[in-house]
Amino acid sequence: MSEYSGYYNERKFWLNITPRSFDEMTPGNMKFRIKNVMKENGSLTVLVDCESFMFKIKNPTSQECLVTQKLQDLKKGEEMEVELEFRNPEEDKYYLKDCYHRENAEGLISIVNVGIGSLHYDRNSRYFDDEVIERNYDVIKFNFEDGERQVFWPKMKEDTEESKKIKDIFNPIMLNKMRAETDGASVNQKALEKKNAKNKKKKKCCTIL
């Protein structure tokens, strides 16, 4: 579970997620289940948002660039299943320069519950990280005050041939991007890892509004 999850758990998050950890995935086990466990009778809209160069949601409700999303309404006691799969890095590497703002290939997964009818499609949505970024594509978003969420950092238990291939393509591209942003060639792999570790500690990071 990510460091963010404890913060968001202080709010009313009515979903039971199985398994609870996303950092020991294996090629044969990249699924998780989400259950509405509201105490009162009530329905929720659940939005799963995966922003990742390594993973994507299988059969997503919406997608663009390196974001895939799955949306489903759940009555009390109902469940939904979400399955991840590896991306094709050769096809998706062209999105890294302008569409990806994470410092590792794995990215993050946000799971949100909101009241029925609170989600809508929006163009030019704003994403907050170190700065406000304009995205010119359709995504699903919500009013943050109306929704509760948890954030997870997916990771393979052990690197596989596919995950190594993805990282081998990801790392040089992102290092070059960092060098261009810092106007220098002193950035190395350790600097990329250090920046990624620093960003994981931030609590204001979100991929959905």
Give the residue carrying structure tokens 């997503």: 60
Rounded-to-integer distance, Cα 83 and Cα 78, Å? 17
Rounded-to-integer distance, Cα 55 and Cα 25, Å? 11
pLDDT of residue 48: 93
**Contact indicator for 74, 18 with CB cutoff of 8 Å:** no
Q: What is the pLDDT of residues 95-107, one digit of tens each?
A: 998 888 888 999 9
**Summary mean pLDDT of the chain:** 77
Percent share of the chain, pLDDT over 90: 44
Residue type, 58: K
pTM of the predicted protein model: 0.75
CATH code for the structural domain at 3-200: 2.60.40.10
CA 43 to chain centre: 24
Q: Show me where the domains of the chain are located.
A: 3-200
Q: What is the pLDDT of residues 119-143, one digit of tens each?
A: 655 544 444 333 333 443 456 665 5
Give SS3 for 101. coil
Sheet holding 79-86, edge to edge: 15-18, 31-36, 79-86, 55-57
